[in-house]
Structure 1
């Protein structure tokens, strides 16, 4: 396969659609594991499978070998269920693709062609599949918030991305950020420093045990971002009666709105959607977030997310198979690769 630079739309107009009788594969790879969907153009996704094991990362970034180890049995079972003998197009959304995807870009197209006959592949950052799942191919911005946080926007000529730098350098307002701020408030109360919350201290000790032992329990863990994020619902649960907890969520909402504003198109009336598990917290976070978004983006129209990142990968895969993909290409965020013979 060879890479197709520039706008995806122009590239796909050149190669045309694949045989729509062939199947498509959509993949969502993130911190909570791997999800796949297989179907055919016109029928949509007919079979879905998932694995709770996240794809490993190492010195080369996202490990394509480990991805294929997980993917092959899931896809074969899905193809059998969907009655699909061969896959013509695939779309994969992967967390960390922008900065950790070099090995994936180099090896995955050939691996998918060898195993399943895939002739056309779209590799996308998970922020792109979250965007497409939420808004489709419309201008606007999507905020994806869970353990981490990233915003992506487009005017349909280029992508703009903000944050997504991980829990040590960014992800401001994310589940990990809220959880860390809540635990900091607990430790402040333990020490007798200003800004502490005795309520959060009590909750932290219920969850983790005596807080003196918290650093030893947290710092060595490779999944410490997820552990921090696990405390975010406890912060939200106290927001109605604890001004410190409510203040943490207001600050998180401000960070979120600033991140969305950094990527939202400045012309017209762009749409803004929220997606991700963090918003299950509900009103304690959503109410201040709506206020912040209204203040920073008065022209934008808030809309509910139509679907999740796997739905976005399905949309990209089916449009890729039909030769109708019009999203802007980007070397780091969304690239399309095709067999040389297809061009």
Structure 2
């Protein structure tokens, strides 16, 4: 059955919305979710704003959500919040699920999605394994936040004389000219997670330019990401001998030095042949669109929270 879908790819940096109906497609962008605020009202607000802006009439809302917890995975509650809009069914999933579906579809493998946070999902013939995605305080190794935090640590070490000089110092001084007061300003800023994660792009630029400190941070991040992927695949492989596909998605992988270091770490310098890094078929938003029609036999179906979907 063909459904008209309002799909939300809800990340911490931004929310991408796609509205697919027989009349056409609309693409919208909203500010990222606030993880310290109730989630479902934020999604409902985006749904209503999207319908107002597009004048579309979808009957399904689907969302892939960064950091989705059992507390917020209530599709019935979301339907109640969008009552009167014409939407009759809902499907919610963690963004690791939608990233996988968008990137690999039905293929066995792993998808590592690294933006502000990071999560890895592997799917085998029968099993599913999620690795990390535990947030910036307890996990997210190799994420944009992790890289940004490493950059700030390196800058303050250089400032103290505990570490080598780095071009990252000039980048941080553009935001906080007095480094001795930077930690006070950062701790008091409600947007501190996004601010810290934003320095990942500066690390990538400095690594491209050959800065030794930025290259070292990049290499450590790549090893963390590769370790997560290897761990996830080992948990789902079972007795299968096939080569598992690996997709990398998210802003962190825009860094050419990081991509190269990740590939080297994952494949053991090309000596490991049971994994293959492949280009994604699509994006996370494509995986969100696929949620309502996911086959009952698919290993990821159990990870989708539904309401009103037969």
Relative to structure 1, is the Cα distance of residues 182 and 326 closer, same or farther in structure 2, using a 3 angstrom cutoff?
same
Partner of 1:138: 107
Alpha-carbon contact 1:139-1:153 (below 8 Å) kept: yes
Equivalent residue for 2:13?
A: 32
Which sections of structure 1, spanning at least 5 residues, go unmatched? 1-16
CA distance in structure 2 between the partners assigned to 1:175 and 1:33 by the alignment? 14
Distance 2:33 2:152 in 1: 29
Structure-2 residue corresponding to 1:228? 196
Look up the SS of the partner of 2:69 in the other structure: helix
TM-superposed deviation, 1:64: 1.9
Measure how far apart 1:223 and its partner are.
2.3
Structure 1 partner of 2:144: 175
- Matched residue SS, 2:116: coil
Give 5+ residue unaligned stretches, structure 2: none
Question: CA distance change for structure 1 residues 111 and 198 in 2, over 3 Å: closer, same or farther?
Answer: closer
- Which of 295, 299, 318 matches 2:274? 299
Partners of 1:161 and 1:263 within 8 A in 2: yes
* Matching of residues 315-334 of structure 1 within 5 Å: 315-317=290-292, 319-320=293-294, 324=295, 326-329=297-300, 333-334=303-304
Q: For residue 243 of structure 1, report the CA deviation from its aligned partner.
A: 2.0
Task: Give the equivalent residue in structure 1 for 2:28.
Answer: 50
Q: How many residues align?
A: 302
Question: Which residue in 2 is equivalent to 1:75?
Answer: 51
Q: Secondary structure at the match of 2:113?
A: strand
Change (3 A) 1:252 1:100: farther
Which of 93, 96, 102 is the matching residue for 1:127? 96
Alignment of 1:272-311 (within 5 A): 272-281=246-255, 283-295=256-268, 298-311=273-286
* Distance change (3 Å), C-alpha of 1:139 and 1:65: same
C-alpha separation between the residues in 1 aligned to 2:82 and 2:9? 15
Contact conserved, 1:37 with 1:78, CA < 8 A, in 2?
A: no
Check conservation: 1:49, 1:78, Cα contact below 8 A.
Answer: no
- Counterpart of 2:182? 214
The alpha carbon displacement at 1:297 in A equals 5.6
Give, in angstroms, the shift of residue 138 of structure 1. 1.4
The SS at the match of 1:315 is helix
What is the aligned counterpart of 1:237 among 205, 209, 224?
A: 205
Following TM superposition, by how much is the alpha carbon of 1:325 offset from its aligned partner in structure 2, in angstroms?
A: 5.5
SS of equivalent to 2:85: helix
CA RMSD of aligned residues (A): 2.5
Aligned match for 1:118, one of 88, 110, 114: 88
Q: CA deviation at 1:181?
A: 0.9
Q: Secondary structure at the match of 1:230?
A: helix
Q: Give the direction of change, closer, same or farther, for the CA distance of 1:133–1:330 in structure 2 (3 Å limit).
A: closer
SS in 2 for 1:196: coil
Contact 1:55 1:62 in 2 (8 A): no
Q: In the aligned structure 1, how far is the partner of 2:221 from the partner of 2:213? A: 12
Change in Cα spacing, 1:307 to 1:143, as seen in structure 2 (3 Å) is: same
Q: Deviations over 1:199-220 (max 9, x none)?
A: 3223321343221111012112
* Distance in 1 (alpha carbons) for counterparts of 2:180 and 2:13: 29
Q: CA deviation at 1:299?
A: 0.4
